[in-house]
Amino acid sequence: MNITFQFWNDSSFESYNPQAQQTLYQSLLQNPRPDEVDLPQSPYVISNFNKVEHGGASQRNKKSGFNRWVRIRPPYLLPGAQPSAAAFALPRDLRFCFEEGRDGSQLVPFSEELQSELKRFLASSPRPSEVYFVAKHSPYLLSGMDQIQDLQSDSLAQVNLKTGFVRRVRITTGPIPRVPQRPYGGAASSHVPPAFSGTASGGRSFQKRSFHPPTPARANSNCSFSVSSAAFFCTVDGRRERLNEAASRLLLRQWIAAERPSEVDLKEDGVVENFEVLEQGRATLRKRGRKTRLEVKLPEPSSGTLRLPEDLDEAEALDMMLTGKALTDQ
């Protein structure tokens, strides 16, 4: 198995260039292995590199401090590790399923793309303790794969990194579990975009209390409202001015990203700081040594019907810290 290092580029895992691959592989062979590795001719440093196979490494931009997930592409066999028995033969009907329902009695299989990815991690050696994946545009962290014995484990669990909601995950064989229909007609299935592949890098350290706008809910054809309608403003000499189209497009992409940066460079339009707390009124735009407050505004949605997303988690107790400041008692 070849060792290939990859980083998360906000939509998929991307392989490093050959020079960086060589630097990382030589660092992997060192004993003791370094905790940090500087990538040549770049502003990046790999932190917690001694935990890269266990989902603990990240790429940090030395200028902005922004972190990205780093992984070894599965399946992998690290030098000196014993091959996993799963690398030779896995039951064809083996599936990963997450528990659904308040009592966890319903099992829902992950998508076929995610099944294949998790099986590749299962065949890796050593197995990671944490695996990062994206389903329905939400980031998750699967823990406990390193504790699986004979394809049996009671330790698998997934956590939604946006909501903090936790579900148990099981490994099953046999017929595909029947997915129950939800009251509004949606199947409780897990879907992963084609660009997906993933493991984790220090997942919980990336969690923030800031609000990350979700994918817009689907509305009828008479309703044109969406998160993409957002407009960004700054206040100059007491007057509110809208940012130009190029700057607004860049901010919108970063605003809806799974991991929102704290700083956004708008080139000649300045630098946005404290972007992760935009909704709390604490983001600023710094330009030519002057700072102004940055705001985001959404148009009032027109009348119409709205169908909620089909992958909402259920929780008996609601943590209002997770709802965002946009919700009111109205």
Mean pLDDT (the chain) is 77
Report in angstroms the alpha-carbon separations of 155 from 27, 91, 147, 149, 151. Answer: 31, 20, 7, 11, 12
Is residue 164 left, alpha or beta, with left meaning phi > 0 and alpha meaning psi from -120 to 50?
Answer: left
pLDDT tens digits, one per residue of 221-259: 344 556 677 889 988 777 888 899 888 888 988 888 778
Provide the pLDDT for residue 214.
35
Report in angstroms the alpha-carbon separations of 134 from 130, 148, 166, 246, 252. Answer: 13, 22, 15, 28, 20
Provide the pLDDT for residue 23.
97
pLDDT at 2 over 80: yes
pLDDT tens digits, one per residue of 117-145: 999 999 999 999 999 888 888 888 999 88
Q: How confident is the model at residue 1 (pLDDT cuts 50, 70, 90)?
A: low
- As given in the structure block, the two tokens for residue 32 are 């003791």
Q: Which stretch of 3-7, 46-50, 162-166, 241-245 has the lowest confidence by average pLDDT?
A: 162-166
* DSSP β-bridge partners for residue 249: none
pLDDT tens digits, one per residue of 316-328: 555 555 555 444 4
DSSP structure string for 132-144: EEEETTEEEEEE-
What is the identity of the amino acid at 298? L
Full-prediction pTM beyond 0.85?
Answer: no
With beta carbons less than 8 A apart as the criterion, state whether 148 and 171 touch. yes
Burial of 106: CB neighbours in 10 Å, binned 0-12, 13-18, 19+: middle
Provide the pLDDT for residue 77.
94
**Which of helix, strand or coil describes residue 114?**
helix
DSSP H helical ranges for 95-212 = 112-122
Residue 315 or residue 137, greater confidence: 137
